[in-house]
Structures are given as structure tokens and as C-alpha cells.
Amino acid sequence: MDFLKQAIADAFASVYLVTLNADDILLEQTKKEFTGHLTFVVFPYIKHSKTSPEQTAQQLGTYIKNNVTQIFDFNVIKGFLNLVLTDAYWLSVFKTIADDENFGNFPAKGEKVMVEYSSPNTNKPLHLGHVRNNLLGFAVAEILKANGYEVIKANLVNDRGIHICKSMLAWQKFGHAETPESTGLKGDHLVGKYYVVFDKEYKKEIEVLLTKGFSENEAKKQAPLIIEAQQMLQKWEAGDKETLALWAQMNAWVYAGFNQTYSKLGVYFDTYYYESNTYLLGKDIVNEGIEKGVFFTKPDGSVWIDLTPDGLDEKLVRRADGTSVYITQDLGTAQLKYNDFGITKSLYVVGNEQDYHFKVLFLILEKLGKSWANGLYHVSYGMVDLPNGKMKSREGTVVDADELIAEMESTAKTKTEELGKTNSFSDTEKAQLYYTIGMGALKYFLLKVEPKKRILFDPSESVDFQGNTGPFVQYTYARIQSVLSKANFKYNTLTPITNTLQATEIELIVLLNTYMDTLATAAKNYNPAAIANFVYDLAKTYNKFYQTETILKGDVEEIKHFRLLLSYVTAGVLKKGMSLLGIGMAERM
């Protein structure tokens, strides 16, 4: 809209003899309750016109209408100048979109971005919280890729520590040499089973100690199982061969299970980092911080950073015995990522319970003078709740990701068969369709909400072919494919038409014209919800067009071709937008 901004600047120069920078002029879409396509708010400019907002808008509108061929008309509502662009202008906009093979992708920026997501623990299967994490991380990465960034999808696997040893010890003591093959369980489920077993047996030991007069705190520390788990961790850190062999075997089971779930979710990673390889990183950074005076040493030998002047606390970065703490590892891993890939931005997709941790991490790296520290960002997201309450992994009451995926497919099957539209599908086609709909419903429901907001997820509500849902958008796409198929439509550039455009046709073109801005905004804010809500609006607007206008039975061939081309382009943008969310489209439903 640069031409229109310049026209407004020219109007100020001609009418009020005031020079304005066209780039500083803001335009916004006209609200649906008013007539117009674009609105210029004049209130901030009456100091230049020295007249009322209404008179200023009227004078500017008159000048623009008389001097800009693309403007058909205007109206003034108080201090809002609503501009109506000509049909010819919108046709030229649509032709540009239709003929642009790269529409939906920005040119390469020459910048590398790493998006770290998933970050599972290898002591349990993925659950609903992980699902939101994976879907959010993947979508943010795809949106950035469409914006011209070179994106590296990374997974930092938490594969060591006391929680891992708990599963290992429980399997060793109570597992009777079970394997995924002998039990028929996915490897992550088998290991997760023994994480739950450990917790149950541990609680039994605590109860026994409580009856013997121990305090609750003492009982938790003195229970034989926790002591054995701590000893196992010490053996692991000391490189005990037997412990390392068990650890490697059980982790291998988990990775095989994770990969199946990732495949079902449709997410993948370009590189992996493992805590077992990174937990000793950061020690050099601590020494660097001491030399630079960023860190200080307390009398007991522990190393700290004082962040109280920044409104935070003092933070421990190395214990008195010389061992690292969690943030030390994160400092080292951040440096490793930069060394490995030379990234200009590094995003961490992690729940909002870690907001403070990342504030501290980023601030420390900034104080250390890391050139890349200002490119770090925490993509914080809220918890996912279910109608029946919260999840607790230690007690085995988590909403398992694999079970959720199966439930989504089952719900999609039930609701689709109720509509009776799959009778001509083969069993293979039905299975693929139910998966596509089920996963589309799940992904869309979790991604249409801004990341920072908490979500109440209802699987049944998400699989609805009406309303703001994935299946509604998918069904609209399939409807367009049916229209194009019936017309035997083949892409051809827009042929000249002289007829007046209908309101629904202009609505569609206006919306299509905002896609690139929406894509840029989604990337800027790391917010896939912007894309989700755009595709919903586009699907809703197309259905209004479909119900209002004749497409296949038009008498004028040019109009018929235009409407088919409009349908074709709309379908393409719907598919591109949903693809950024990791959602597939069915050609027929």
C-alpha cells in the first residue's frame, strides 16, 4: 500500500502545505461494520490540518479520490477516513498473487535460527504437555523458514540424572528382565512403567520409616530406594560399565518409542544434543566470568553472580565442591550451539514454569559479553489442562501422547462416519483420512491459542466440522478440490474481466492480500496462532463466497474462470498456512 501512503502524504502537502514521510503513515483494515477497505486515522494529524477530525478526513478523502485512480470512493466516520479501492485495483492484486509461484514465502534472509523443542526426559513417554511443546516448536520453525530464515530444529534430550536412575533401578529390581519385545510395550512406555513402580515402592518405604518415628523429610532421604538410586547415579558419573550398559539399553528403548511418537505427530529434528554429553559444559564459561569480574567467589569456594541490580536474585553457577549446577550446563550448551552453527537467533520452546530460569540465563550471557546473546528468546507457553484435571507423571496419571493420538483418530472416525461421506473410501483411504482429521483437530486446537495462554483441551470438541477447528478448514479445502475437479480446472492466468466484483469476491482477495503480513507478524511474535486464525477466517470467507456466488453454472466464461481461479488460489493458501502448523489436508472428505 505504499502508493496510498504516498497519496496521503501528497494530500497533506497539497491541502495543508505540510511535509510528511509516507513511510510513517499507518493504514489499517476497515472494520467490518463500515464501508471501505482501508482506513486512515486522522486524529494524530489534526495538529497539521488545524481543523476538526471530520473536516480533515473529508478534505483528505476528496483530494485522494480526485487524484488516485485506484480509489473508487471514501466515507468519513468521525475521525476515520475509510477508503474504497476500485475493482480494477483488487483484480490487479489478485493477478499478482495468482501468478506468484513464491507467494507464501519470503526471500532468504541469510540468517540462521535454531529452534529447540521437545526436550524430553528418557524416563517416561511423551505426554500432552510434550505434544503442545512439539507442535509449537515445529510450527514456529516452519513459520520462520517461510520467512526466509535458515532453520535448525534441535532437540536437547535429558538423558541423565536421578530421575533416569529411578527407572533403571526399578527395572533392575522389579522388572524380571522385561523388554519391549517380551511385553509388547513401546520402549518409552516400558521405561515409564518402572518410573511409576519406583514411586510406588518408594512411598511404601517412606510409610514404613514414618511408623518407626522418622520425620517425613528424614524418611524421604533415608528410604533405601532413593539411596540406591543416588548410588547408581554416582556409578554412572564414575563410568561404571555395568551401569552405563543398562543406561544405554533402556535409553535405546526409549528413543525407539519416541521416534514412533514423533512420526505420528509429524515432527522431526535436524540435530540432537544430549545432556549426558553437555552436563559438564560451562565450566570454562564460569572461569571466564570470574576473570571478567562478572562472577564472584564466596568464602566457601562457591561461585555466584549478583543480579539484584537487575531486579533478580543472586544465582549460583558453581558449587563449593566444584560441580556444575543446571544453569552452568545451559551456559555451555548455548555456547556450543553457536559454535556448531553460527546462529543469529536461538529459540527455546519451554513451558512458562521456566520463565525465571531463562531471564537469568540470557542476562548472564549478555553480561559475559556474548555477541549472540541478544538473539536468544524463550518461547514460553502455558499448561494444557483436561476437563478431568491435571497430570502427574510420577503417579502414572499423565495423558499419554500415544493414547491421545489414538483417541483423536477414533473420535475423527466416529464423527466422520456419522456424516456418511466415506462410503466410497477404501479401508486404507479411511484410515489415512481419520488420521489426517484427528491430527489436524489436535494440532489446530493447541495452536490456535496464543502460546502464553493456558489451554483447556477437549478432544471431542476439537473434532468438529463447524466453527474454529482444524476439520472445518480441512473440509473447506476438500470442498474446493471437489469444485475444481468437477470443473476439470487447469491453472491459467487471470483473463481480463469487466464485470463488477461481488462483495464476497473482494473480501476473499483482501484477505489473501494480508497473508504475507500475517506470516511476517507470526514470525516476529513466534506465534502460530496468527496463522491458525488467518486460515480459519479464509475458510469462513470462502464458504460465504461459495454459498453466495454461482461458480460452476455461470453463463459468462470469464467470470466462471475467475471464480475457479479464486477458489484455486484460496485452496493453495489454506494448504500453505495449515502446512506451517504441521497439518495435512485431505483432497476429499
pLDDT digits (tens, 9 = 90+) for 345-387: 999 999 999 999 999 999 999 999 999 999 999 999 998 887 7
- Please list, in sequence order, all residues whose beta carbon lies within 8 angstroms of the beta carbon of residue 538, skipping any fewer than 6 positions away: 508, 511, 512, 570, 573, 574, 577
Distance separating alpha carbons of residues 343 and 330, to the nearest angstrom = 16
Distance separating alpha carbons of residues 140 and 242, to the nearest angstrom = 41
What is the pLDDT, as a whole number, of residue 191?
97
Domain chopping of the chain, boundaries: 2-85, 161-263, 401-580
- The secondary structure of 419-433 as a DSSP string is HT--TTS-HHHHHHH
Distance separating alpha carbons of residues 419 and 435, to the nearest angstrom = 17
Element (H, E) at 40: strand 38-41
Topology at the third CATH level for domain 401-580: Isoleucyl-tRNA Synthetase; Domain 1 (1.10.730)
Question: Is residue 246 within 8 Å of 252, Cβ to Cβ?
Answer: no
Return the residue matching grid coordinates 502460530: 528
What is the pLDDT, as a whole number, of residue 391?
41
What is the pLDDT, as a whole number, of residue 323?
83
Question: Is residue 459 within 8 Å of 407, Cβ to Cβ?
Answer: yes
3-state secondary structure of 565: helix
Element (H, E) at 361: helix 355-367
Mind listing the pLDDT tens digit of every residue in the chain (589 residues)? 789 999 999 999 999 999 999 999 999 989 989 999 999 999 999 999 999 999 999 999 999 999 999 999 999 999 999 999 999 999 999 999 999 999 999 999 999 999 999 999 999 999 999 999 999 999 999 999 999 999 999 999 999 999 999 999 999 999 999 999 999 999 999 999 999 999 999 999 999 999 999 999 999 999 999 999 999 999 999 999 999 999 999 999 999 999 999 999 999 999 999 999 998 889 899 999 999 999 999 999 999 999 999 999 999 999 998 888 899 999 999 999 999 999 999 999 999 999 999 999 999 999 999 999 999 999 999 988 877 654 444 444 568 899 999 999 999 999 998 888 788 899 999 999 999 999 999 999 999 999 999 998 887 788 888 889 999 999 999 999 999 999 999 888 777 777 789 999 999 999 999 999 999 999 999 999 999 999 999 999 999 999 999 898 767 788 999 999 999 999 999 999 999 999 999 999 8
C-alpha cell at 79: 475521525
What is the pLDDT, as a whole number, of residue 553?
73
Distance separating alpha carbons of residues 561 and 545, to the nearest angstrom = 15
Between the CA of residue 251 and those of 165, 242, 270, what are the distances in Å?
Answer: 11, 14, 20
Distance separating alpha carbons of residues 473 and 533, to the nearest angstrom = 10
CB count in 10 Å sphere of residue 313: 13
Topology at the third CATH level for domain 2-85: Gyrase A; domain 2 (3.30.1360)
Between the CA of residue 151 and those of 143, 459, 481, what are the distances in Å?
Answer: 10, 31, 32
CB count in 10 Å sphere of residue 286: 21
C-alpha cell at 430: 479411511
Return the residue matching grid coordinates 461494520: 33
Q: Which amino acid is at 370?
A: K
Distance separating alpha carbons of residues 265 and 260, to the nearest angstrom = 9
Q: Going by DSSP bridges, is the β-strand pair 303-306/296-297 parallel, antiparallel, or unpaired?
A: antiparallel
Residue 348 backbone dihedrals phi, psi, to 5 degrees? -115, 110
- 401-580 and 2-85 share a CATH fold: no
